[in-house]
Amino acid sequence: MDSAERVDLVIARLKDTGEVAVAELAEASGHSEMTIRRDLDRLESQGVLRRVRGGAVSLVPRGQEPPYVLRERQAVEAKRRIAAQVAALVPTGAAVALDSGTTALEVARELAGRPVTVMPLSLQGADVLARSAETTVLVAGGEVRPGELNLHGPLAEASLAAVRFDAAVVGCCGVSAGEGVTAHDLQDVAVKRAMMRSSQRTIAAADSTKIGLVTMGHVCPVGDIDTLVTDDGAPEDAIAEIRAAGVDVVTV
Amino acid sequence: MDSAERVDLVIARLKDTGEVAVAELAEASGHSEMTIRRDLDRLESQGVLRRVRGGAVSLVPRGQEPPYVLRERQAVEAKRRIAAQVAALVPTGAAVALDSGTTALEVARELAGRPVTVMPLSLQGADVLARSAETTVLVAGGEVRPGELNLHGPLAEASLAAVRFDAAVVGCCGVSAGEGVTAHDLQDVAVKRAMMRSSQRTIAAADSTKIGLVTMGHVCPVGDIDTLVTDDGAPEDAIAEIRAAGVDVVTV
DNA sequence: CGTAACGAACATGTCTGGTGTTTGAATGTC
DNA sequence: GACATTCAAACACCAGACATGTTCGTTACG
């Protein structure tokens, strides 16, 4: 069991019971207690949990979005496939607004090096794209959320309003036919709306675990999306409902 | 002779004669020709030179600004001392606009972790500052210059115009009493002016090699600077002239 | 005061990045 | 067109970085 698997184990236990013990994890993973402690220390510095004597307790309240360092470990393969499909939908020379989040970051990796114009809404996205001389990067302004490194606030919205895009690539926390596109954070909602306002088309990217989910911040009715790219793990009926709303759903 | 020294050697030869030979460099550095080729390939991808059969020729025209990868190797110690002094001039809780460039990046490193609000004009600066949760990072929008990773254009100027700062920290390519503050790039000039317009004070940071230099883009008369931080290598009379214009010159 | 947990320090194994050598292909020169 | 030089891909090698385990003195809790 390597480092990544151990973290997964810790996360699973935390989700289950809200706390973990060093000795128990060492037993379950087959590694020494010292290694477990180092894992937990790292996760503590990332804001995932808080160390207590003998173990750790969860810091991620139920219903809230897990921190970036956890989300980037989830559905990695699906996100990569989705990102490749999204990038294929962006023609050469196009201008796109690119959301923050782990899926959008994969899209950035796919777009980097292609002759397109991209406005990323996160610093990681900007970093990835700016390495390539072929790609024009027009970074949005805004306040940076620590840890998440996404851009939000009035400056971000003003940046988006100042440009017109061929497409907006939007990540999200939930997509359902009834409640539409939803996100965890209200400031993100405002940014996503601004992206869509400035774009001719909206491409939503969401792995299948997001299909059918509803979170707090309402972005738009599902019909406002032009294309939804997801993986093939989503329930058939949920996809059918979304299609019925006029969305072009692409599964990869 | 390690990798960094070899690059220095290449740069020195290029500055001297405008071209270098693989065999000659291998001889001089005591490494194999293959290693020299790899060095040159790397420098070519960074835009410093162009490979030709048997060697390479310089791509940096005289009078133009050398690429970022070269500037960051120059006067490192002086830049660090200057940056520490600049950071000391920024009080806790202040809001500052922070220029792009190698000196400003050092200032970002000094400011990171302190409870201040910073608007960096470069992606590297944003990266450094965003790692710390204490520091509020309000990144400027704008187009990203490849290689340099600084932000410019109307979006950057609009971002600056939308905020008011306690201080603008401006890097520059030249400072002289007669010609004032100058930069190599006209788009950078516009950004620097926008920074100064939105700020109560202007702090210029320039190592002593910049004192007395004049480059193409005129930013402002020297009297528009409130404080100039430089190292103690600058000629006495040039410093005296700048002081006579009403600038508070700090040498470290 | 005793036990369990902690963390600093050191040792070990693994992996990656930089370097050298070889070799066949490509390119320039005559 | 023939030859010499240069190039780059492939492989081997080494050093430094990183992860892990062990030991041991210190600290916290009952």
How far apart are the C-alpha atoms of B131 and A68, rounded to whole Å? 13
Residue of chain A whose alpha carbon sits nearest to that of B122: A139
What is the CATH number assigned to the segment(s) B71-251? 3.40.50.1360
- Per-residue pLDDT tens over the stretch B18-42: 889 999 999 888 899 989 999 999 8
Nearest Cα residue to A185 out of A245, A238, A212, A145? A145
Q: Do A137 and B144 touch (CB under 8 A)?
A: yes
- Strand order, beta sheet including B174-176: B174-176, B180-183, B217-220
Q: How many CB pairs under 8 A join A and B?
A: 85
Q: Which fold has domain B3-62?
A: Arc Repressor Mutant, subunit A (1.10.10)
The answer to whether domain A3-62 and domain A71-251 are alike in fold is no
Average of per-residue pLDDT across B195-210? 96
Residues 16-55 of B, Cβ under 7 A from nucleic strand D: 21-23, 33-34, 37, 41, 51-55
How far apart are the C-alpha atoms of B217 and B173, rounded to whole Å? 9
Residues 30-49 of A, Cβ under 7 A from nucleic strand D: 30-32, 34-35, 38-39
Output the distance from B41 CA to D7 C1' rounded to whole Å.
12
Residue B60 has pLDDT above 90, yes or no: no
Neighboring chain B residues of A132 at a CB cutoff of 8 Å: 146
Question: Domain map of chain B by residue range?
Answer: 3-62, 71-251
- Per-residue pLDDT tens over the stretch B139-155: 999 999 987 899 999 99
Output the distance from A44 CA to D26 C1' rounded to whole Å.
22
Supply the pLDDT for residue A77: 83
Write down the pTM of the prediction. Answer: 0.88
Nearest Cα residue to B140 out of B86, B87, B201, B96? B96
Specify the nucleotide whose C1' lies closest to residue B32 (CA). Answer: C20
Q: Contact at 8 Å (CB) between B219 and B193?
A: yes
Residue ranges of chain A whose pLDDT lies below 50: none
- The three-point CA angle B105-B107-B109 to 5° equals 75
> CA of B239 to nearest chain A CA: how many angstroms apart?
37
- Per-residue pLDDT tens over the stretch A58-112: 987 766 777 787 787 777 788 989 999 999 999 999 999 999 999 999 999 999 8
